[in-house]
């Protein structure tokens, strides 16, 4: 039995619940591929798990778990029947594994092209869905249909963030903004910055970004926001924003957690406008339903990504990156080897102090 190095989570809060150890190296079954994770991003949802906010979602049978769903690497072994991949291929890895990848009869969501809502969903590095070892380990299994060839000019580190960019693609496809729309992005972490870049790529130019910290606001400015507001520097930023623009046609909520950003979106949006929610909320939030009704606002959720116009949104994101319409490299502020896992997670948790946008493990 071969072993691999992995950062293993036992369900307790960070840092007590994590340790670097050797675990069993997976072997690819028929139709599957084993990749060596050359880069793996630390996602905000990973931090939610490790802080205890989402641990209740994980069945006890799924512990111990190896997190990490933002991955890219190279093929090291292929299962029986796999002919489209060979050892040494550089790949971007889509973590979502729906019916088609699991050999199940297609469920209604998959038949509708909404495979991210699949009732059989298995997700690499997300222990709430299934125990598929993630990028915090040396190797991960992927179904052959969930891998994409990397063009030579794209680095593994950039490709690891395609999962984040695909979320921005999905949100834009949900929102369907027009180029003349005034759009506000609440939250300038990786999700917000990727949403900003996607909107820019489809022709939206009037984009105002609201960030919690000044370094996030600066990143949004460099990536194309026409105006930025920093909550740390302007406590009444939402009011000043409303005074500046009047009202937004669309608001993209990219914060989640325990923030009141949906309510802020209701305050900012014009009558008949749209609020697209990307942030994952870890607590119940109250909103003004009277204002929502009287202003006929639409609140739309954008959870993950799947298909749009017969194309996978992960593939659309790869196209944006390959064509230079998205800059993921500039979002990577901190890199660590897997052996320095505590420094990496400290940097991710302490973003205000470390000025971290995206922290990755690289090998």
Same domain, residue pair 12 and 142 = yes
Domain that holds residue 258: 168-301
| pLDDT classification of 240: cutoffs 50, 70, 90 | confident
- 278 — alpha (psi -120 to 50), left (phi > 0) or beta? alpha
Would you state the structure tokens that stand for residue 136, as one six-digit string?
């915090």
**Among 301, 320, 346, where does a domain finish?**
301
Same domain, residue pair 155 and 176 = no
Report the candidate in 133, 132, 125 with the shortest Cα–Cα distance to residue 163: 125
Same domain, residue pair 236 and 127 = no
Q: Is 311 among the domain residues?
A: no
Same domain, residue pair 125 and 83 = yes
Q: Is 177 among the domain residues?
A: yes
Same domain, residue pair 143 and 13 = yes
Residue by residue, DSSP assigns 149-186 as EPPTTS-HHHHTTHHHHHHHHHHHHHH---TT-EEEEE
Q: Tokens 């040494």 label which residue?
A: 88
Q: Are 320 and 326 in contact (CB under 8 A)?
A: yes
- 338 — alpha (psi -120 to 50), left (phi > 0) or beta? alpha
Same domain, residue pair 88 and 182 = no
Q: Tokens 């029986």 label which residue?
A: 80
Q: Is 314 among the domain residues?
A: no
pLDDT digits (tens, 9 = 90+) for 45-89: 999 999 998 888 898 888 999 999 999 999 999 999 999 999 999
Would you state the structure tokens that stand for residue 330, as one six-digit string?
């500039």
Would you state the structure tokens that stand for residue 265, as one six-digit string?
């979106």
Measured at the CA of 311, the angle between CA 307 and CA 314, to 5 degrees, comes to: 70
In this prediction, residue 236 carries a pLDDT of: 80
Give the separation between CA 69 and CA 345, rounded to whole angstroms: 15
Q: What 3-state DSSP class applies to 357?
A: coil
Same domain, residue pair 254 and 151 = no
Q: Is 321 among the domain residues?
A: no
Same domain, residue pair 268 and 126 = no
Same domain, residue pair 174 and 53 = no
247: CATH: 3.40.50.720
Instruction: Write down the mean pLDDT value for the chain.
Output: 95
Q: What is the dihedral of CA 237, 242, 245, 251, to 10 degrees?
A: 90
pLDDT digits (tens, 9 = 90+) for 124-156: 999 887 667 999 999 999 999 999 999 999 999
Same domain, residue pair 19 and 147 = yes
User: Which of the given ranges, 123-127, 278-282, 349-353, has the highest pLDDT on average?
Assistant: 349-353
Q: Is 309 among the domain residues?
A: no
Number of structural domains in the chain = 2
Q: Is 28 among the domain residues?
A: yes
186 phi, psi to nearest 5 deg:
-95, 110
């Amino acid at each position: 039995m071969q072993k691999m190095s992995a950062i293993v989570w036992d369900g307790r809060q960070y840092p007590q619940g994590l340790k670097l150890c050797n675990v069993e190296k997976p072997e690819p079954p028929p139709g599957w591929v084993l990749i060596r994770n050359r880069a793996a991003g630390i996602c905000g949802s990973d931090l939610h798990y490790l802080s205890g906010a989402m641990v209740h979602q994980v069945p006890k049978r799924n512990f111990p778990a190896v997190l990490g769903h933002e991955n890219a690497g190279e093929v090291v072994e292929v299962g029986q029947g796999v002919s489209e991949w060979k050892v040494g291929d550089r790949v971007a890895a889509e973590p979502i594994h729906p019916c088609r990848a699991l050999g199940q009869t297609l469920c209604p969501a998959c038949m509708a092209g909404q495979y991210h809502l699949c009732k059989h969903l298995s997700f690499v590095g997300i222990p709430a869905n299934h125990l598929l070892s993630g990028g915090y380990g040396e190797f991960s299994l992927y179904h052959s249909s969930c891998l994409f060839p990397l063009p030579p000019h794209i680095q593994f580190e950039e490709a690891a963030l395609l999962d984040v960019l695909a979320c921005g693609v999905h949100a834009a496809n949900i929102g369907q903004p027009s180029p003349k729309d005034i759009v506000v992005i609440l939250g300038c972490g990786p999700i917000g910055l990727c949403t900003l870049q996607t909107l820019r790529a489809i022709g939206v130019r009037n984009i105002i970004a609201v960030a919690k910290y000044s370094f996030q606001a600066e990143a949004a400015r460099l990536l194309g926001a026409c105006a930025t507001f920093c909550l740390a520097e302007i406590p009444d930023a939402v009011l000043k924003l409303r005074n500046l623009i009047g009202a937004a046609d669309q608001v993209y909520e990219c914060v989640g957690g325990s923030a009141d950003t949906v309510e802020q979106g209701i305050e900012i949006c014009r009558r008949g406008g749209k609020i697209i929610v990307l942030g994952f909320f870890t607590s119940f939030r109250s909103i003004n339903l009277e204002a929502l009704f009287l202003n006929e606002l639409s609140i739309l959720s954008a959870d993950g990504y799947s298909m749009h116009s017969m194309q996978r949104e992960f593939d659309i994101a790869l196209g944006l990156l390959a064509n230079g319409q998205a800059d993921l490299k500039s979002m990577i502020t901190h890199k660590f080897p897997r052996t320095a896992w505590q420094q990496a997670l400290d940097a991710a948790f302490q973003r205000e102090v470390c000025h971290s946008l995206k922290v990755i493990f690289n090998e």
